Structure 1
């Protein structure tokens, strides 16, 4: 056996050993990845099952609470809307009397057509005369107060 043959054999054995180590590492990594995939799938399945159980358990409770709140809130809102509408009707004559004086529209004091709201910086005084009436008495004046005249 010569030195050259001995050297070639040693190099070939070295490469075979490295290939074997690489194959074993690849097999190990593949096994670890497969185990991680299985563990992840099991964890996801467990999480989904728990979420479904929680949802099944809590949904009736939340539905019942929602129905109960609706039963309480709906009449309360109807009552409050009724009060708001009534208050609007009650204070309308006062509003239609005071606001025209404050906004310097004396012909509009107490008139049911008075609006007095601003839109885009322009005040709509009333439905009949958008910029208000300049004279002392408006020809379209109608009282917001029962049995009253200008």
Structure 2
């Protein structure tokens, strides 16, 4: 009777060893799967990031060149800037409250009444440039 108990115990031991061996194999397979997955993910991220960066750089260059074509060489793309009247340019406007003196796209707008300025020394629309009350208080 002892013989069959010993055989059953050996069979249980063999089954336990085989189950342990099976799970060790599965564990190794899962580890290998995760390693491969990590490598593939890293390669995809690097590839996608490189391609997206290149695409964005190409797109930025294309937009730059298209804007340069729209703006052109003959237009002044800068913001408007002021020009003060002087003895050489628009002397009749010195001290006039109507003087605008801003350059837009390379063209000087002198004032609303005389967009290109007055040619003589005495403009018929000249009025003294008076300070507003709030500016006069600061002086």
TM-score bracket, shorter-length normalisation: 0.3 to 0.5
Taking CA–CA contacts closer than 8 Å with sequence separation of 6 or more, which of the two structures ends up with the larger relative contact order?
2
Task: Report which of the two has the higher share of helix.
Answer: 1
Give the alignment's TM-score, normalised by structure 2.
Answer: 0.46
